[in-house]
Structure 1
Amino acid sequence: MTVVLDRPYEFVPPYRGNLWPTAIQNFRLIDWHLRTKEAVLSGECRNAERFAESLKAGHGIILAPNHCRYADPIVLGWLARQVRTHLYAMASWHLFNTNKFEQFALRRMGAFSIFREGNDRKALETAIDILVSGERPLVLFPEGTTNRTNDILKPLLDGVSFIARSAAKKRAKQEKGQVVIHPVGLKYLCLEDAHEWAHVQLAELERTLSWQPAFNPGSIGKLIERLLRVSQAYLALKEIEFTGHASSGELSPRRDRLIEQLLVQAEERYSLVAKPTEDVRERVRKIRAAVSATYFATDDADRDPATFRRDAERADLAQFLLSFPDEYLTPGKITDTRIVETIQRIQEAIFGKAKESLSMKVVIDVGEAIPVPVGRPPRGEADPVLCQLREQLHTMVTSLSQEAKLLA
C-alpha cells in the first residue's frame, strides 16, 4: 500500500557525502543487488557521451527515464559509473517505510523523499537546490509510477518541467549556466527462453487458483490463452471482493468499470467530486491525499485504521488495474518481454511480489540534452519542454521495444 498510516510524513533528506556512494560503486553492490534481487545481469549504456558532455559543461542536469521496473533507479548506477559521477533521486515516501535497512540504503545511494499525497515544498526545494548548485545530476521519473509496461510510455507529469524551470531561473540569476533534461530510455531484454519460464509461472498461478495446471508448455497461442484465463480469474476475484459479484464480457470494459467503481466508492467517503477532465491518476492522487489527511486529523479513539487502509487499497488497485493496457497482447506484437511483464504484474497482484527469476539485461539509452528556458510557456499552450521530453522518450521506447524477441 502506497499510503503510509503508521506515522505522519517527515521529509527524508538525501545523504550529501560521497563516501557511501563511492563505496557502493567500488564494491559493485548495485551489481550484486540487481543480479540477486532483480535478475538483471548486465547493462548496456548507449550515447553516454551526451550525458558526459553536459557534466563537463557544468549544467544542472535532470535524468528523466521511463519507469517500467523497480530496478530502474538502481540500473542508472551503471550509467553513473560509466561517466564517473554520483546521482540524486526523488523517491516516494512509502519506499522509506519498508524497513530500516532499505531506508538506510536508499539515502546512501542519493535518494530523498517526496510526499505524493500532498504539497511537499521541502522535496521540491531540495530538488531545485540540487540543480542550481550542480552538485550532482538529479533523477526524476516523469511518469511518476512504475507499471511493468516497458513498451508503452504513460502520460508525463508536469512536475519535472516545474522543477527544471524553477532551477533554470535561479541559475540564470546566479550566472551559473543552463539546466538541461536528458531523456533516458530503459529497455529490459530476456537472456533466456521466456516461453518455458512463462509455462512454469503460469502453472504456479493456476495451482494457486485451484486449477489443474497444464503439463507442457504448448504453443505460444495456448500460452496466451492460459495467460488471459488467469487475468480473467484475477479480475473476477477483485470484482467479487469490491462489488459483490463477477461480471461477464470482455476484459477491457470490465476492468474500466471496476476502476470506476473503486474510485467512486472511495470518493464518496471523502466527499470528493471528480472533474470531467481528471484522469484516473489524478483521482487516485486526491483519494490518497484525503485518506492520509483525514486519518491523521481524526482522534485516535475515533478512527478505524482498517477502514482507511481499505480506502487506500481501492485507490491502489484502481491504478494497478490501469497498468494492464489493451494493446499489450495484440497478435503480431507479442514479444517475450511483454509476456514476462504481464505474468509478473499478475504475480504482484496475487502473491504481493513478482518472481524475478528470468535473467535479463537492460539497455540504457541517453537522449539529446533539452535546454530548459527560464520563462514559462504562454497560458493555455502546451509546455514545449514537456513536449520535447515526451517526443524523445516515446521515440526511444518505441525503437527499443523492437529489440525484444517477437513471439506472435
Structure 2
Amino acid sequence: MLAQAPLDFLPQRLLPWLPQLMRPVLPLLLRLQAGLVGVEADHLERLVAAIGRFQRGEARLLVAFRHPQTSDPFCYSALLWDLLPRSARAQGQPLRTFVHSHFLYDRGIPLWAGSTVAWLFTRLGGSSIQRGKLDLKGLRAARQLMLDGEYPLAAAPEGATNGLSDVLSPLEPGVAQIAFWAVEDLAQAGRTEAVELVPLGIRYHYVEPIGPAADRVLSGLERACGLPVPPPGPAAASAPGVAGAEEAQLAALYPRLAAVADWLLQRLERFYRQAHRALLEGEGPITPENRGERLRHLLEAALAVSETQLGLIAKGSLNDRCRRIEQAGWDCIYRPETRDRQALSAVELGLADRLATDAERALWHMRLVESFVAVSGTHVREKPCADRFGETLQILFSLVHRLTGDGAMLKVPRLGLRRAQISVGEPIDVSARRDAYRAGRQGAVASLTQDLSVALQGLMEP
C-alpha cells in the first residue's frame, strides 16, 4: 500500500440532462446491475405531496432512506424518475418539473467503485461526506443544498449498508442535525419554508425459487472451508411440516448454512486467540442459544485489534467504532505530505508507505466486522424465508472470499431475480421542533433521530 494524497471533498456538479438521459435505460440497469425485475412503492401520495410543497416553495425537503444494499440507488432512482411522476398524474396532482434529488454519499465509495462512479455521482447531484470525521466541507455543502438546492436532499442515516432488508442499523445523528440546521438557516434568512423529513424504507423479495442457486453457493463455501459437501440430489423432500417445495428445500439447506457459519465463527475465534492473544469467552460447541453472543465477542475482539494498531480507545457502538477506525486508517494512508511524492526523500517516502501498509492491515479487521454488525446469529431461524436465507448466505460468501484473499469486492452471486418494495413514511415536521432544538440541541437531535428510527423500523414490516 502506497501513501497517497488526502481525500479531497467532491462537490456536486449536477448536469440537469444526465438523470433524464439515464431514465429510459434504468429498467435495463435494474435488471443487469441489480438483478431486479421491478420496483414497487406504497403510500406514494405522501411523497407526492411533500415534493409538491417543495416545488411550490412551501417547504425544504430531506429524504432519509434505508440503505441495506448497494442496489438501493437504482431503486430510489426508479421511485423518483418513474413511480412518483406516474402516481402524481394518477392523483390529478402532476408535479411541475422533473423529479430528482441531490444526495450525500460516502467519500470512500470511489476508492473501491472507481473514478467513473465518482464522476457519475457528482454529475447526478451527489455531494461527498467522510463519515468518521468532522468533514466541514462536506457538512457545509449539505447545509447549503438543504437551504438552496434545486432538488430535495437525500441521505442514508444508517451510514453504511448492512446487507439485511429487515434489520435496521443504529442511525447516525447527522441527518437530524442537517434538518435542524436548515430550520435555523431559513429563520436567519427570513424565509418561511417549513423543513420536512420523509422516511423511506426498502425491502427486497425473491420472485423465483433460490434453492438450486443457494445449494451451489453453499457447496462452494463448504469446499472453501474444508467441510463435507453433500452429494447432489432431490433436496429436502423429507423435511416434515413445511409447505411447498421451495420452503422444504430451504429448510433442508438451513443446517448446512448454520454449519458453515459456526465453522467460520470457531476458526475466527481460534485465529484471534492465537494471532492476537484475544481473550474470547466460550470455547465449547456453538449452539443456537450462544451463537449471537459468541459472534458479538468475536466482533469486539476484531475491532480491538484495529484500535490497538491505530492507537484508538474503544468507545461507542460497533458502528461508531468502525467509523473511527476507518477514519484513523485513512489519516495514515491519505496524507498531506504525499501530495507530491517526488518532493519526499527516499527514506521519508519509505516510512510513509510503511505507515500506509500498516494502516491498511489494521483496516482489514474492521472490514471483517463491518458486514456483520447487524447479524444476530439467529436471523434466519427466527423467521425462515427465502429473503433472509439469501441475504445471510451472501454475507457469508463475502466473508469467505475476504478470508481467502479472492477480493473483498468480488461480485456476490445472485441467487435469483428480485423485486424491490419501497415504503414512504409520514413526513416529520422538523420546523415544529425548533423551540426544542433551541432549548437543547443535543437532546432535540437525539429525539428526532429516535423518531426517525422508529419510523424506518415501521416501514420495514411486510
TM exceeding 0.5: yes
- Which residue is 2:10 aligned to? 12
**Which of 17, 20, 31 is the equivalent residue of 1:22?**
20
- Which residue is 1:393 aligned to? 456
- Aligned pairs, how many? 392
- Which residue is 1:57 aligned to? 53
SS in 2 for 1:363: strand
AA in 1 matched with 2:440: P
Task: Provide the rounded CA distance (Å) in 1 between the counterparts of 2:175 and 2:270.
Answer: 39
Task: Determine if contact 1:117/1:292 at 8 Å carries over to the other structure.
Answer: no
Task: Determine if contact 1:48/1:79 at 8 Å carries over to the other structure.
Answer: no
Pairwise CA distance, 1:350: 2.2
**Which of 238, 243, 268 is the equivalent residue of 1:238?**
268
Task: Provide the rounded CA distance (Å) in 2 between the counterparts of 1:72 and 1:181.
Answer: 19
- 1:261 and 2:301 correspond: yes
SS in 1 for 2:208: coil
CA pair 386-293 structure 1, distance change in 2 beyond 3 A: same
AA in 1 matched with 2:371: F
Task: Determine if contact 2:102/2:149 at 8 Å carries over to the other structure.
Answer: no
Which of the two has higher C-alpha Rg?
2
Pairwise CA distance, 1:357: 4.2
Task: Provide the rounded CA distance (Å) in 2 between the counterparts of 1:172 and 1:80.
Answer: 29
- Which residue is 1:406 aligned to? none
CA pair 32-176 structure 1, distance change in 2 beyond 3 A: farther
Give per-residue Cα distances to partners, 1:302-352, cap 9 Å, x unaligned. Answer: 141332111011122222232322331234x11110000001111122233
CA pair 321-4 structure 1, distance change in 2 beyond 3 A: farther
Task: Determine if contact 2:60/2:195 at 8 Å carries over to the other structure.
Answer: yes
SS in 1 for 2:421: strand
SS in 1 for 2:302: helix
CA pair 4-153 structure 1, distance change in 2 beyond 3 A: farther
Matches within 5 A, 1:317-328: 317-328=368-379
Task: Provide the rounded CA distance (Å) in 2 between the counterparts of 1:4 and 1:178.
Answer: 48
Task: Provide the rounded CA distance (Å) in 2 between the counterparts of 1:211 and 1:62.
Answer: 49
Pairwise CA distance, 1:57: 1.3
Q: Structure 1 unaligned segments of length 5 or more: list them.
A: 401-408
Pairwise CA distance, 1:7: 3.7
- 1:89 and 2:103 correspond: yes
Give per-residue Cα distances to partners, 1:93-142, cap 9 Å, x unaligned. Answer: 12122322222222233322111232111111111111111411111111
Matches within 5 A, 1:131-210: 131-174=146-189, 175-210=191-226
**Which of 339, 358, 364 is the equivalent residue of 1:307?**
358
Task: Provide the rounded CA distance (Å) in 2 between the counterparts of 1:104 and 1:293.
Answer: 24
- Which residue is 2:404 aligned to? none
CA pair 334-282 structure 1, distance change in 2 beyond 3 A: same
Pairwise CA distance, 1:205: 1.8
RMSD: 2.4
AA in 2 matched with 1:65: F
Task: Determine if contact 1:186/1:363 at 8 Å carries over to the other structure.
Answer: yes
AA in 2 matched with 1:61: L
- 1:226 and 2:256 correspond: yes
Task: Provide the rounded CA distance (Å) in 2 between the counterparts of 1:392 and 1:213.
Answer: 43
Q: Structure 2 unaligned segments of length 5 or more: list them.
A: 86-97, 240-249, 338-347, 402-407
Task: Determine if contact 1:132/1:167 at 8 Å carries over to the other structure.
Answer: yes
Q: TM-score, normalised by structure 2?
A: 0.79
Task: Provide the rounded CA distance (Å) in 2 between the counterparts of 1:107 and 1:357.
Answer: 32
Task: Provide the rounded CA distance (Å) in 1 between the counterparts of 2:30 and 2:219.
Answer: 26
- Which residue is 1:76 aligned to? 76
